[in-house]
Amino acid sequence: MNILVSNDDGIGAEGIKRLAAALTKMGDVYVFAPDRQRSASSHALTIGKNLTVTGTDFPGVSEAYYVDGTPADCVKLGIYTLRERGIDVDIVYSGINHGGNLGSDTMYSGTVSAAAEGAFFGKPAVAVSVNSHNPHHFDGACILAERVLPFALKTGNQRKVVSINVPDIPAEEVKGVAAAKLGLMQYEERFNVVGETESSRTYQYSGSPVEPPDGSDDTDASLLRRGYAAISMIKYDLNDYEGLNTIKKWRIKL
């Protein structure tokens, strides 16, 4: 089995090292990752600029490369260049992300989008995250990444991403694993002025999550707060079919 691994934290992040090491037990691992931190890059692609792919040493894997592009670039290039050499990718993994990818935040996530690029190629795809920007515990995420693989393999050609989120606690302290729907992430947001001239002003964004009044629902964020690992299925079909039927009734003419 050929497994393509990417991320958005960059080739040097601890999370991708731990994920790749875990997956070497399941097949041949090929790493294509950004050359630097590319968090919150969503599904951006590099257009009108050359992309450089550089080989690098990476413990235990078949091959590893870093790319001066986005996470989606990495997966697209990885699948393409490996296929040109007769290596067909069977499944795409992205992570382990340093920070949760929960609810509506998945729209911004480079980690989830890297996996989604694999799904757009018709590949089974898995995104894996630990819910801390300075994580210390990767074991639970690695275990789930391995155990979900045979199930994820059945989702090829469905444009779906299996998204795993794990609390940053020892694996033995995780209360359980739950299927989770995506919730709406809300933040107390600030744009702080960090520079100013006569004609311009420079801002820096910061935000703190707003805790919902009732944390007992079955959304991914709620489950993580209560000490559970959450597995969600994200489907890339943006059509609002009810809305489409509404538009048909408008009978608009040009």
Measure the CA–CA gap between 80 and 217, rounded to whole angstroms.
41
Residue 131 has pLDDT above 60, yes or no: yes
Q: Please give the structure tokens belonging to residue 164.
A: 């795993």
Residue 52: enclosing H or E segment and its boundaries? Answer: none
The CA distances from residue 113 to 38, 94, 175, 243, in Å, are 11, 9, 28, 26
pLDDT digits (tens, 9 = 90+) for 33-42: 999 999 988 8
Task: Examine residue 190 and state whether it is found in any structural domain, yes or no.
Answer: no
Query: Could you tell me if residue 194 is inside a domain?
Result: no
Residue 208 lies in a domain: no
Residue 191 lies in a domain: no
Looking at residue 194, its pLDDT comes to 86
Count of structural domains, the chain: 1
> Is residue 45 domain-resident?
yes
The pLDDT assigned to 217 comes to: 78
pLDDT band at 206 (very low <50, low <70, confident <90, very high): confident
Percent of the chain exceeding pLDDT 70 equals: 96
**pLDDT tens per residue, range 6-33:** 999 999 999 999 999 999 999 999 999 9
Q: Is the pLDDT of residue 46 over 70?
A: yes
Checking if the pLDDT of 104 tops 70, the result is yes
| Position 202 in a domain | no
Q: pLDDT tens digits, residue range 146-195? A: 999 999 999 988 999 999 999 999 999 999 999 999 987 766 778 888 88
d(CA 83, CA 122): 14
Q: Is residue 204 part of a domain?
A: no
Q: Residue 157 belongs to what domain range?
A: 2-182+214-250
Query: CATH no. for residue 177?
Result: 3.40.1210.10
